[in-house]
Homo-oligomer: A and B are copies of this chain.
Amino acid sequence: MQVEIVTIGNEVLSGRTLDTNFAFLARALEEASVQVGWHTTVSDDAGRIAEGLARALERAEAVVMTGGLGPTPDDVTRSAVAAALQRPLELDESVLASIRERVSRLGRMLPASVESQARVPRGALAWPNRLGTAPGLLIEHHGKPVVLLPGVPNEMESLAREFLVPYLRKKTGRAVESVTLRTYGVFESMLEERIGALPEKWPGATLAYLPGWLGVDLRVTVSGDDAGTVGQVLRRACGELLAVVRGVVYAEGASGMEEAVGELLIRSGQRIAIAESCTGGLLAKRLTDTPGSSRYVERGFVTYSNRSKIELLGVEEAVLEAHGAVSAEVAGQMAIGAAKRAGVEIGVGLTGVAGPDGGSDEKPVGTVFIAVADPAGHALRKLRLIGTRAAIRERSAQAALDLVRRRLAGLPLEPSLDP
């Protein structure tokens, strides 16, 4: 099945907003064995929306439109689609009820215009939106599905996961399963070299390399007519893949490095304290992204100044003077001090030059030291990262989490593909 995705929005067409919605949808549809054949972006203009829909209906087997479902006058998708498909807008009482329920629950004054979102093209099925007032809408038009989703990313993603993907998966009738192995610490090209032609041995399977700021994900997708066979091939493929990349895999599925660390802490009954400088709170933020992390995160110290490193963590002034705030010695004292002051088993310390200024010949921008202290001693790593300030901060936090994970799991401290 080939689908056309139509993004609607002046802010996207003007280039002000990156179209992350499209990228999310294209990847989500792949899980349902649906290929995106075309992608079009049009403005919040009824004529352009109608034109985009007409083209898409000519060439694609299903159309997914996102954006323009809000209550303001520049949100015209609902009425434009109603006119284009000659399905007048009609009040959907159940949508109206859920909008009113939401408004009253929030106890907020919302303008009367939100109720306009209960008017839907005739024959449309409304998919309830748990995160906002605009429902997703499914119209089966002359046998072709036309789906309208809001443009607010979290609402769109939630509706796509809950309704669109299962709907299309059922419609295609093919069995598809996929597993993602998340790797950290080696380049995509090194993974490619190691994995080579291995995927050719898996019937009906594809292997996707998905590089990102925080590592490379490997996604194996198997499709076929028979669910049993698909499952078997997938298990075999994952086993064979894992056998060659095990040294750098930190998680399976969607969970992040912070969850891997959290699980290891829970399993070992240990707690952690974070001491960080150049990441300015990001490392603690990552660890507390996980619901329930208060079980193992005791506290964090954002020691941006030298004085705070001394006062809060017991870093020695002489060490700061001799080696500088960005040094292995200071990272080590930060980790040890964090654990000790918080009275917990694990401490992590991070100090570096995030840039764009503050680099030197000896310690250029991107120089980062991370340390982990635990009852057995402590571990250190020095990194030379590249990229913008934001990228260096994100990568530093990821590297520190990986070092904690490796220490907790008793793994070699350096990421490596060697067995």
Contacts and interface: CB of A to CB of B under 8 A. Distances in A.
A277 to B, nearest CB: 9
A305 to B, nearest CB: 5
Interface in A308-322: 308, 312
A274 interface: yes
Contacts of A291: 355-357, 389
A163 interface: no
Given A70-B188, A302-B281, A26 B13 contact: yes
Interface stretch (A17-25, A89-97, A239-247, A367-375): A17-25
Interface in A1-54: 10-11, 13-20, 22-28, 30, 36-43, 48
B304 A300 contact: yes
Contacts of A189: 71-72, 110-111, 113-114
A167 interface: no
A36 B25 CA distance: 23
Interface residues of A, number: 95
Closest 8 pairs between A and B when the two form their complex, measured CB to CB: A280-B288, A15-B26, A300-B302, A281-B284, A281-B281, A299-B308, A281-B285, A39-B41
Contact of A30 (B15, B274, B280): B15
Contacts of A203: none
Interface string A338-358: 000011000000000001110
A37 to B, nearest CB: 8
A36 B55 contact: no
B192 A73 contact: yes
B299 A294 contact: no
Interface stretch (A141-149, A204-212, A327-335, A411-419): A204-212
A308 B23 contact: no
Given A154-B387, A279-B288, 15 more contacts: A11-B208, A14-B27, A15-B28, A17-B23, A72-B192, A111-B189, A131-B388, A154-B391, A276-B281, A281-B300, A285-B393, A289-B390, A294-B304, A299-B304, A300-B301
A287 B302 CA distance: 11
Given A192-B72, A285-B285, A301-B302, A23 B15 contact: yes
B10 A208 contact: yes
A42 B36 CA distance: 9
Contacts of A276: 281
A356 B114 CA distance: 26
Interface of A: 10-11, 13-20, 22-28, 30, 36-43, 48, 55, 70-74, 106-107, 110-111, 113-114, 131, 152, 154, 187-190, 192-193, 208-211, 219, 274, 276, 279-289, 291-294, 297-305, 307-308, 312, 342-343, 355-357, 384, 386-391, 393
**Chain A contact residues: over half helix, strand or loop, or mixed?**
mixed
Nearest to A312: B299
A298 B302 CA distance: 9
Contacts of A312: 299, 312
A26 B55 contact: no
Contacts of A393: 285, 289
Contacts of A113: 189
Contacts of A73: 192
Contacts of A356: 291
A191 to B, nearest CB: 9
A236 B359 CA distance: 43
B304 A298 contact: yes
27 contacts: A13-B39, A15-B23, A15-B24, A15-B25, A15-B27, A15-B28, A16-B219, A18-B23, A38-B48, A39-B40, A70-B211, A71-B189, A111-B189, A154-B387, A280-B285, A281-B283, A281-B288, A284-B302, A285-B285, A285-B393, A289-B389, A289-B390, A291-B355, A291-B389, A294-B305, A297-B302, A298-B308
